[in-house]
Amino acid sequence: MNSVKDIVSILEEKKSSILLKDAKDLTDEKLVEQIKGSQNQLYFGVIYERYHKKVYQKCFSFVKSEDEAEDLTQEVFIKLYHKINGFEGRAKFSTWLFVFTYNFCVNYISRDKEKKVSSIADRIKNKEYKISSEESELDEDFFEIKLSKLEKALEMINPEEKAILMLKYHDNVSIKELQTLFGINESALKMRLKRARIRAVEAHNKIA
């Protein structure tokens, strides 16, 4: 006959199993609400399960080392667990998480180069760009670059510029969402994107 302790343990396991099953059916945003309200790590585990691979891929795109990318992924999720209250729902959670990840990677790379930087949003917001007619021609060339060479070119440009290009063209984040996340107007954001594309073309031309 099972002891009371064993019965309680079995009931707790069944409760967790049911909770996990229900949690997997929740949207990202609903999961975040549950995490904020209950601090139940089970809900965060579902977020981890959904996004571990994508976050790893984004980390790998910056460091090009499987072990280092996995370490960074774990650090991203540890930091995310403590910072998740910062998600306000102004953009999709996935978009917010990708920006969170890119911020982390940019700062990691910058620290590695012994450069003191802030977040992508702050860096982008404070930069002033002017586009010449020659640069406009380079911008048009961006869309002609083959994917294989584009990846190499992105390794050669500023991490902040690489991140904004990846958010827009790899993660398909809308201009409106980027405006909200970076806190700048549409024209300023498009100017930053344009300059980043130009930098990618210039890098591509060096390796072509």
Fold of 4-86: Rna Polymerase Sigma Factor; Chain: A (1.10.1740)
Q: Where are the domains positioned within the chain? A: 4-86, 124-207
How much is the pLDDT for 131? 39
How much is the pLDDT for 16? 58
Which residues of the chain are under the pLDDT cut of 50? 1, 4-5, 7-8, 10-11, 14-15, 114-120, 124-125, 127-135
Fold of 124-207: Arc Repressor Mutant, subunit A (1.10.10)
Q: Are 104 and 79 in contact (CB under 8 A)?
A: yes
How much is the pLDDT for 154? 82
Helices (H), 64-185: 66-83, 93-112, 120-126, 133-142, 147-154, 159-165, 175-182
For the full predicted model, state whether its pTM sits above 0.85.
no
Burial class (CB in 10 A: 0-12, 13-18, 19+), 1: exposed
How much is the pLDDT for 3? 53
